[in-house]
Amino acid sequence: MAEVPGDCPGTSSAQAGSATACQGCPNQRLCASGAAAGPDPAIEEIKEKMKSVKHKILVLSGKGGVGKSTFSAHLAHGLAEDETKQIALLDVDICGPSIPKMMGLEGEQVHQSGSGWSPVYVEDNLGVMSVGFLLSSPDDAVIWRGPKKNGMIKQFLRDVDWGEIDYLIVDTPPGTSDEHLSIVQYLSAAHIDGAVIITTPQEVSLQDVRKEISFCHKVKLPIIGVVENMSGFICPKCKNESQIFPPTTGGAEKMCQNLNVPLLGKVPLDPQIGKSCDKGQSFLSEVPNSPATASYRNIIQRIQDYFGLHHSQEEKII
Amino acid sequence: RGNLARVQHILLVLSGKGGVGKSTISTELALALRHTGKKVGILDVDLCGPSIPRMLKVQDRDVHQCDSGWVPVFVDQDKSISLMSIGFLLEKPDDAVVWRGPKKNALIKQFISDVAWGELDFLIVDTPPGTSDEHISTVEALRPYKPFGAVLVTTPQAVSVGDVRRELTFCKKTGLRVLGIIENMSGFVCPHCLECTNIFSKGGGEELAKHSGVPFLGCVPLDPQLTQSLEEGRDFIQEFPKSSAFPALASIAQQILDGTS
């Protein structure tokens, strides 16, 4: 793939082909002709591909390190406990893929088959795809600007042989930039059911999450609900609770009330969660009695209910 | 050399992982250096999630224009800490900056060339997570000014350390000197019984430093008082010199100062 100029205005921009950065770019003539300005033909191809996927969920947060990947991984594990369901987990965090480690798949590689890239399977009914499977060493850094990341995401959606899927869970990087715009654009024709937004209780995190909610409104992405992670820590010795990330402005609860979005639940901090993720195991089955497990299960149930409800509503309309 | 002509040392704060405390460490480091009498500027290049204006309680301030460019926001009365962030350019604090790479790159270039910092001992550049547009653009735009080096922040657990390993490769590839690794959020001391729990495990940062042959600058423990004070924009180092996080931060600042002399 040819190097895209750093200041590329984007193929759909009004300046495509005529900006100063376009000088010398091999695609300049194509961009200037306007042929590239139409919708990406990949959107239709992805729509075809996604016909075998019943539900698509995005896991988002404006803030990094709040537990998006941990949540995505455990949502996948939780949904996959029903053996009649097929689950796919797609990691579009191109520069910081954590999913391979959390799913215990570090060092795995993807295989090419006649029908595309094969995902890596954790269980028979749980397939995973991540840029982490394409790197040769854990030190490899993916130092890519936006256009290359977008190309990778397109490939993940169009060229992975997922098969028949009940739930596709997409784990995203922090922010509201290329990866987010691309995933929403590429799936625009295929329809995304909704987004689950993860936050921690403190205002510094909530202020980024409000931006993410306004992003969802801008791109007309329905919000399934908000999960407050790391809310409270119970000392394993004295059983007293401490607020490590204090909800000085009322936490996710207040934010959800103000912005009129549902709160799916709060998950307490439990050192076991991080440990399970480091070992690549499911926290839900490793520590079934933790209050955090109960809280996770409750949230997963609410997400399943959301789909049950919406599914029947759609049927009624038809 | 324009607006950065009178800036002595440029420090980048990096981490492959989000939410490990880059902005917290940037802010604290600035405060710690200020307490040793230095003049410090902070440039926040996290365009989609700027946190520092709120941490320093200046989120309602505006930047102004002068002949040589944008005037940064001064945080304290004696103008020893100045800050530039996209947070000052947004109309509403909840506005999302939904920008692809090229727009972000253009703003970063402007931030680097057009802010009238004046005389500074240190310019601390706080970055978003990852190894993408913001990082490539920042490093490229700063190259003529020969940045002093980068401080890498991680939390102790393997998932985070894995992302920071990738950031080390980024530094190597871009020729950025690594001043050292800081392990943040290592251990939490229960305020009720003083039992220390390693919520996010322990020792991952130090191990990584050893493994990759870069200096280890220290562990900063989890301290809810720290979060609370940052939330409220109070000067942590002035208010909580007895906190468990204080000696760690002061020692890190000292190591950086030692490196400059």
CB atoms B132 and A143 under 8 Å? yes
Mean pLDDT, residues A284-303? 95
ipTM over 0.85: yes
Task: Please indicate if any CB of chain A lies within 8 Å of the CB of B135.
Answer: yes
Partners of B109 on chain A (C-beta within 8 Å) are none
In chain A, which among 154-183 make CB contacts under 8 A with chain B? 173-178, 180-181
What pLDDT shows up at residue A35? 65
Q: Answer yes or no: is pLDDT of A256 > 80.
A: yes
Cα–Cα distance between B43 and A193 in angstroms, integer? 38
Query: Cα torsion at B65, B70, B74, B75 (round to 10°)?
Result: 120
Q: Answer yes or no: is pLDDT of B256 > 50.
A: yes
In chain B, which among 25-84 make CB contacts under 8 A with chain A? 48-49, 51, 54-55
Average pLDDT, chain B: 91
What pLDDT shows up at residue A78? 96
What pLDDT shows up at residue A19? 79
CB atoms A64 and B129 under 8 Å? yes
Q: pLDDT band at residue A315, thresholds of 50, 70 and 90?
A: low
What pLDDT shows up at residue B235? 67
Q: pLDDT band at residue B233, thresholds of 50, 70 and 90?
A: confident
In chain A, which among 279-308 make CB contacts under 8 A with chain B? none
Which residues lie across from B67 on neighbouring strands?
Answer: none
Q: Answer yes or no: is pLDDT of B187 > 80.
A: yes
Residue positions forming the annotated binding site of B for [4Fe-4S] cluster = 190, 193
Task: Closest CB to A204: pick one of B55, B128, B165.
Answer: B55
Cα–Cα distance between B172 and B137 in angstroms, integer? 16
pLDDT tens, A105-117? Answer: 999 999 888 888 9
For chain A, give every domain's residue range. 1-38, 44-317
Q: pLDDT band at residue A316, thresholds of 50, 70 and 90?
A: low
Place of tokens 């980048």: B12
Residue of A15, A145, A182, A277 to mutate for B, most B C-beta atoms under 10 A: A145
Cα–Cα distance between A164 and B41 in angstroms, integer? 54
Cα–Cα distance between B41 and A287 in angstroms, integer? 46
What pLDDT shows up at residue A112? 87
CB atoms A204 and B166 under 8 Å? no
Task: Please indicate if any CB of chain A lies within 8 Å of the CB of B213.
Answer: no
Q: Do the Cβ atoms of A179 and A92 come closer than 8 Å?
A: yes
Residue from B250, B249, B177, B210 nearest B21 by CA: B249
Task: Closest CB to A65: pick one of B18, B94, B98.
Answer: B18
Percent of chain B with pLDDT over 90: 68
Q: Which fold has domain A44-317?
A: Rossmann fold (3.40.50)
